[in-house]
Structure 1
Amino acid sequence: MTRKLFGTDGVRGKANTFPMTAEMALRLGAAAGRYFRRDDSAAHRVVIGKDTRLSGYMLENALTAGLTSTGMNVLLLGPVPTPAVGFLTRSMRADLGVMISASHNPHYDNGIKFFGPDGFKLSDEAEAEIEAILEGEIRPARPEKIGRAKRIDDGRGRYQEFVKTTFPSGLRLDGIKVVIDCANGAAYKAAPEVLWELGAEVIPVGVSPNGTNINDRCGSTHVETAAEAVVAHGADVGICLDGDADRVMILDAHGKVADGDQIMALMALRWAAEGRLRGGALVATVMSNLGLERRLEAAGLRLERTSVGDRYVVERMREGGFNLGGEQSGHIVMTDYATTGDGLVAGLQFLAEMARTGESAEALSRQFITVPQMLKNVRYAEGKVPLADPAVQGVIAAMEEKVTGKGRILIRKSGTEPLVRVMAECEDSALLDEVVGAIVAAVERAAS
């Protein structure tokens, strides 16, 4: 069964435009409610969280109407990180968790992603079944079985207390000055409070959401603002989250950034040394740098690659019994602690290494030498399929032949935006420029 509505991370699009309309959110909520409440024999509950986008109010109300119409009791968490929804779905014995967020996208986008009762994101198969229900006639609950909705005031507090339990006992962050950039998003209260309670001196950035400034020149995809703050305040380290706080980037005292690959390398090597790395492997996507793979191999460890998307990383981790995985973009998944990527928990693990070893953020975040990598995005109009163009395919084939034995090329369509992502790695920087430039030019011609 194929999916049409769901992408690599739920349903996503521009707010008030299909599929991110109130009408579709209502129907999607009803379809999900019917999928998880197959009969009317007992009460069922769902938790709903959101980030700070203006459109979150509209979608929250519509989803609530759809879910309660099928008999689901809705618990509204308000603005909380995506991993908090995964945690609270399981902790509060909910049948379903919903997060309203478009992650690192601009404020005018939004999205809806679902978590099952185990706290993990739904499988492709489950999403396809929800789509099938959506396309048919959705059976509502009987009048006396309609669900109720209420706001939950302590959801964020529960999550914060849980997050602190992931920090090693006996360690404190006293004496460490931390810039925390919350991207004006879902963690704008939780992250600074957790860091302060663990002893850090906290310089908050991106903690004044107004509905339209989420991810706006801040957060994990725009680290320049936090980097300036790190240098200006003489901070030891910077932690940059994205809009829903499931991604993280680390900055050293000079404002230099370490991506998810470097963070995962640090954790994999330390966990392996402590005998904690299950299966002797790290799970990452095809986007992770070749340098990471070489560093792990040198330590006798493996890199298991998956398709792009943290959900596919998690699926492989669960299949193989691995406990560490993630993406270069900053999703770090530690199933010992969480069911999905958690930027705050990953940031705390990095800070724990600083506290434990006394080493600087710069030393800890340079675990391997990266192979030169270039990634360029080409936007295309809806309805266009540039990768199907024979001219584009011909250029890709020619460029792949050029880098054989010297590097690799990865071209893919984004699952969340109308973009073609062109990525290549090669030790020869001139050849890297030539290869990426040729492919991008061909895709642009086909997309115009």
Structure 2
Amino acid sequence: MNQRKYFGTDGVRGEVGGPVINAEFALRLGYAAGRVLAQQPAAHGRPMVLIGKDTRISGYMLESALEAGLSAAGVDVLLAGPMPTPAVAYLTRALRLSAGIVISASHNPYQDNGIKFFSERGMKLPDELEARIEAVLHEPVGCERSERLGRARRLNDAAGRYIEFCKSSFPHARDLTGLRIVVDAAHGAAYHVAPDVFRELGAEVHAIGVQPNGMNINHDVGALHPGPVAAAVREHRAHVGIALDGDADRLVMVDGEGRAYNGDELLYVIVRERLARGPVAGVVGTLMTNYAFERAMQALKLPFVRAAVGDRYVMEAMLERGWQFGGESSGHLICLDCHTTGDGIIAALQVLSAMRAQGRALPELLADLRLYPQKMINVPLEPGLDWRTHAGLQQALADVEARLYGRGRTLVRASGTEPKLRLMVEAEDDELASSAVRQLADSLA
């Protein structure tokens, strides 16, 4: 699977107009996917695929090209328009479709876009199917006979279906009456659904980031830029703020004072609330999950494992162990007892449910979790240098880990995009973390 040329860890992504994110490639990708899906059993007698997108201006072009390619291969198409990535996953599964396609580059700026697939189960497409699609990509684009061409139609009630699904993840005995919430949709795919989810559960909602123009997605708003939602919380004297990214699979929340909480903190709140309901088998984080979270799981006597960075790898680790909860510091949070993929709106509802159940605000729910200071240094890698066998670095690592024992951790990894070594130290004390990471860097000087 490492030989795949186009599919990365989360579909195909790049700059619009580049070698893969253009109309010609999208047409070929649609046709190749249609050819492969036509060989799979289909609940509707013939393959049917849902296409959703975020609010980037390039989405119109890519949607039309994918639709044409799928139709030429004899696949029917449902068009959902702008919809969150997790909404496409849900609708694909609920409507018994052959696959779902999302046109989005998530938290990237509008100049980028991407194409990713969901299987009929509402999960990331298996590697084997992605490899088969790549193989067909190299074949000429053909066309079925007229009577076998795919048809396309709009799924007009997509937003309403997804809103009801999100609400169903919130305990029926609770509501949000009396809560003032600021929702920042990042001018992205959730602009027309996220505010309604919280309103229909009883909250007073102030929405920002809900005026997409095709080019402002993620621009100084949303989960990557929590400043605006924090300011709006203070302005409206709201109890909490919810910030999503462009495709609404990432979540950051802020409290009434405007302090932001990342994915590690929000996952802790969710796991604690689930423990109050019953047993939790274990929790998956990533290599970047804060060490304080790991220590907190130990205190709760919960198994904890780290996956590679990326929600795909978190999901793989969860499924391998049969666990239901996992996430990333960046705000990708997965609750498999609610959904088959990470969902920013549903994750926010789980945090709000914990607040309601205990009658406590975010600072109180997180009073016993203090994230460790994290210090990072990027060191240029000399050509031919094998850092894994570098005597000085290995000795420094041994010394640092002895100093940190029980009080922190180290992470050393090569960059996947540039010739640099990334050194990271987390420790209870800021100065300890700083001195330890400097010691590692100095060993390579």
Does the Cα contact within 8 Å between 1:262 and 1:367 map onto a contact in 2? Answer: no
User: Which deviations, in whole Å up to 9, do the C-alpha atoms of 1:68-120 show, x marking residues without a partner?
Assistant: 11111010000010000000001111101000101111111111110001110
Does the Cα contact within 8 Å between 1:403 and 1:426 map onto a contact in 2? Answer: no
Asked if 1:408 corresponds to 2:410, the answer is yes
**Matches of residues 132-151 of structure 1 in structure 2 within 5 Å?**
132-137=135-140, 140-151=143-154
With over 3 angstroms needed to count, the CA separation of the structure-2 counterparts of 1:53 and 1:419, relative to structure 1, is farther
In structure 2, which of residues 56, 63, 68 is the aligned counterpart of residue 65 of structure 1? 68
Q: Which amino acid aligns with 2:314?
A: V
In structure 2, which of residues 237, 254, 259 is the aligned counterpart of residue 251 of structure 1? 254
Cα shift at 1:286: 1.4
**Matches of residues 305-320 of structure 1 in structure 2 within 5 Å?**
305-320=306-321
**Matches of residues 102-181 of structure 1 in structure 2 within 5 Å?**
102-137=105-140, 140-181=143-184
Cα shift at 1:142: 3.1
Aligned mates of 1:168, 1:108 — CA distance in 2 = 39
With over 3 angstroms needed to count, the CA separation of the structure-2 counterparts of 1:410 and 1:266, relative to structure 1, is farther
Asked if 1:221 corresponds to 2:218, the answer is no
Question: Runs ≥4 in structure 1, deviation > 6 angstroms?
Answer: 417-421, 437-443
Does the Cα contact within 8 Å between 1:282 and 1:302 map onto a contact in 2? Answer: yes
With over 3 angstroms needed to count, the CA separation of the structure-2 counterparts of 1:419 and 1:171, relative to structure 1, is farther
% identical aligned pairs: 45
Cα shift at 1:362: 1.7
SS of the residue corresponding to residue 193 of structure 1 reads helix
**Matches of residues 422-433 of structure 1 in structure 2 within 5 Å?**
422=422, 424-427=424-427, 429-430=430-431, 432-433=433-434
SS of the residue corresponding to residue 77 of structure 1 reads strand
Aligned mates of 1:325, 1:197 — CA distance in 2 = 27
Aligned mates of 1:244, 1:367 — CA distance in 2 = 32
Aligned mates of 1:6, 1:355 — CA distance in 2 = 41
Provide structure 2 residue ranges, at least 5 long, that are not aligned to the other structure.
none
TM-score (norm 2): 0.90
SS of the residue corresponding to residue 262 of structure 1 reads helix
Aligned mates of 1:35, 1:421 — CA distance in 2 = 40
With over 3 angstroms needed to count, the CA separation of the structure-2 counterparts of 1:108 and 1:418, relative to structure 1, is farther
With over 3 angstroms needed to count, the CA separation of the structure-2 counterparts of 1:63 and 1:345, relative to structure 1, is same
Matched residue count? 433
The residue that corresponds to 1:339 in the other structure is 340
Aligned mates of 1:438, 1:135 — CA distance in 2 = 50
Aligned mates of 2:16, 2:124 — CA distance in 1 = 22
With over 3 angstroms needed to count, the CA separation of the structure-2 counterparts of 1:387 and 1:320, relative to structure 1, is farther
CA-atom RMSD in angstroms: 2.7
Cα shift at 1:139: 5.5
User: Which deviations, in whole Å up to 9, do the C-alpha atoms of 1:28-81 show, x marking residues without a partner?
Assistant: 111111111127994210000000001111111111111111111010000010
Provide structure 1 residue ranges, at least 5 long, that are not aligned to the other structure.
379-385
Does the Cα contact within 8 Å between 1:214 and 1:243 map onto a contact in 2? Answer: yes
Does the Cα contact within 8 Å between 2:269 and 2:354 map onto a contact in 1? Answer: no
Cα shift at 1:185: 0.4
User: Which deviations, in whole Å up to 9, do the C-alpha atoms of 1:290-334 show, x marking residues without a partner?
Assistant: 111110111110112111111121122222111111111111111
TM-score (norm 1): 0.89
**Matches of residues 141-290 of structure 1 in structure 2 within 5 Å?**
141-277=144-280, 279=281, 281-290=282-291
Q: After the TM superposition, which of the residue ranges 360-369 and 163-172 deviates more from structure 2? A: 360-369
SS of the residue corresponding to residue 63 of structure 2 reads helix
Cα shift at 1:430: 4.3
Cα shift at 1:248: 0.4
With over 3 angstroms needed to count, the CA separation of the structure-2 counterparts of 1:426 and 1:355, relative to structure 1, is closer
The residue that corresponds to 2:325 in the other structure is 324
With over 3 angstroms needed to count, the CA separation of the structure-2 counterparts of 1:426 and 1:327, relative to structure 1, is closer
Q: Which amino acid aligns with 1:202?
A: V
